[in-house]
Amino acid sequence: MNWLIAPNAFKGSIEADEAAKIIQNLIQAEDKGSVVKTAPIADGGDGTCYLLIQHLGLMKFHEQVCDPIGRARDGFFGYDPISETAYLDVSTVSGVKWLASDELNPWVSSSYGTGELIKEAISKGAKNIVLGLGGSATVDMGIGILAALGIIFLDEKGDELAPFSPYFLQKIAHIRFNGNLPSISFTCLCDVSNPFFGDNGAIPVFGPQKGLKADDQKLFVDASKKVYELFEKASKKTIDDQPSFGAAGGIALGLSAFFPTEIAQGAHFFFEKIEMEKMIDSADLIVTGEGRYDSQSAHGKGSFELLQLAHKKGKKIWLITSGDEADEAGFDEVIKLPDLDFNLSNIQERAKGNLKQAVFNKLNEKDF
């Protein structure tokens, strides 16, 4: 029996590669004659480029840069010298995971540290940047990244605004650059389709998750619209708000003003890069998983996209998840996990224990 173990991350509890290893160990113990390959997956969410770096065996470079509020944070990127392409996640240093709940504040949080990593990747020879947008702490329209790459943001007096200065977005009155920007292009990976502006945009949908108070939303929208107009003025081009510009607080929007920028559906890009179809061809049974499969999963999430590939190839596929919304999704088997109480301590250990027990129980049914 040839197994392919390809889980997504179980959000907030188990990373994809950890989950894959747990499942692999259990199958090898119960089905001793089996071949069990692992291919942990991502779809543009937090950790997508981390997994791509592993799958592709890329050189990994570390650099101390800034976290979302200016503290030192060890960051890294992967680099492929043949294609001159660097891979990094915004969440590596600009992620919401680095901030306590009382530190969340999009009036201060900046993507500057991600820009520092990109600048270092350019110094290694990178001409193309693949940027995973999931898990950011920012709604800064990519201003932090742009500042690190040489674009200068000025207040009404013509003074340069320092990164992480409070209410920097609201204070921007002028944008200046000398025309000698790096010759790079961006491919931004995401798993959401929200535009930046509008009722379904970044500010009302994701702003509250990043600390934006309801009373501040109109002020934030007004400040963002002003910066949007300044982007168009500085770049001398019209910038149309697009689906997925709302990901990571508008990073792709800001980048598109000054650099060739493409938005890619994260799961499709990921599967193509790791040649997922070839892995499926050699598998008899595929096992995927995510923390909770819900109505959003069918809109570009990794487990759903893997289901489509499995059906295309006529292969069986199991899903490990919590909740009941996956029952009619089309998986050959749904292995149910109990709901987690994220207010309890040791949530990671509880989640791993639940995963081990659920998989163990299924394997002991011996109906695979």
User: 264-297 pLDDT, tens per residue?
Assistant: 999 999 999 999 999 999 999 999 999 999 888 8
Q: What Rg, from alpha-carbon coordinates, does the chain have?
A: 21
Instruction: Provide the residue count of the chain.
Output: 368
Average pLDDT of span 40-45: 96
What percent of the chain lies above the pLDDT cut of 90? 90
- pLDDT score at 295: 82
Average pLDDT of span 186-191: 96
Per the structure block, which two tokens stand in for 36? 């069990």
Average pLDDT of span 208-236: 97
Other CB atoms within a 10 A radius of the CB of residue 121 amount to 25
The one-character DSSP state at 184 is -
User: Closest Cα partner for 36 from 9, 63, 5?
Assistant: 5
**3-state DSSP assignment of residue 147:** helix
Average pLDDT of span 159-167: 94
Distance CA 253, CA 242 (A): 8
Beta bridge partners of 38: 5
Buried b (16+ CB within 10 A) or exposed e, 127-144: ebbbbbbbbbbbbbbbbb
pLDDT single digits (tens) 296-331: 888 888 999 999 999 999 999 999 999 998 998 999
User: Closest Cα partner for 198 from 243, 253, 265, 248?
Assistant: 243
pLDDT surpasses 90 at 189: yes
Average pLDDT of span 230-249: 96
User: Closest Cα partner for 254 from 133, 171, 135?
Assistant: 133
Beta bridge partners of 160: 154
Average pLDDT of span 209-233: 97
pLDDT surpasses 90 at 344: no
Beta bridge partners of 186: 129, 261
Average pLDDT, the chain: 96
- pLDDT score at 123: 98
- pLDDT score at 77: 99
pLDDT surpasses 90 at 342: no
Residue with tokens 């595929």: 286
190 residue type, one letter: C
Residue 343: pLDDT band (50, 70, 90) is confident
pLDDT surpasses 90 at 229: yes
Whether the CB-CB separation of 75 and 113 falls below 8 Å is answered with yes
Average pLDDT of span 150-162: 96
Distance CA 93, CA 97 (A): 9
CATH number of 48-266: 3.90.1510.10
pLDDT single digits (tens) 124-139: 999 999 999 999 999 9
- pLDDT score at 365: 87
Segments making up each domain of the chain, as ranges: 2-41+275-363, 48-266
Residue 151: pLDDT band (50, 70, 90) is very high
Distance CA 207, CA 214 (A): 9
- pLDDT score at 129: 99
Write out the CATH class of domain 2-41+275-363.
alpha beta
pLDDT surpasses 90 at 345: no
pLDDT surpasses 90 at 37: yes
Residue 179: pLDDT band (50, 70, 90) is confident
Average pLDDT of span 176-193: 92
- pLDDT score at 335: 96
User: Closest Cα partner for 68 from 96, 33, 101, 100?
Assistant: 96
pLDDT single digits (tens) 79-125: 999 999 999 999 999 999 999 999 999 999 999 999 999 999 999 99
pLDDT surpasses 80 at 197: yes
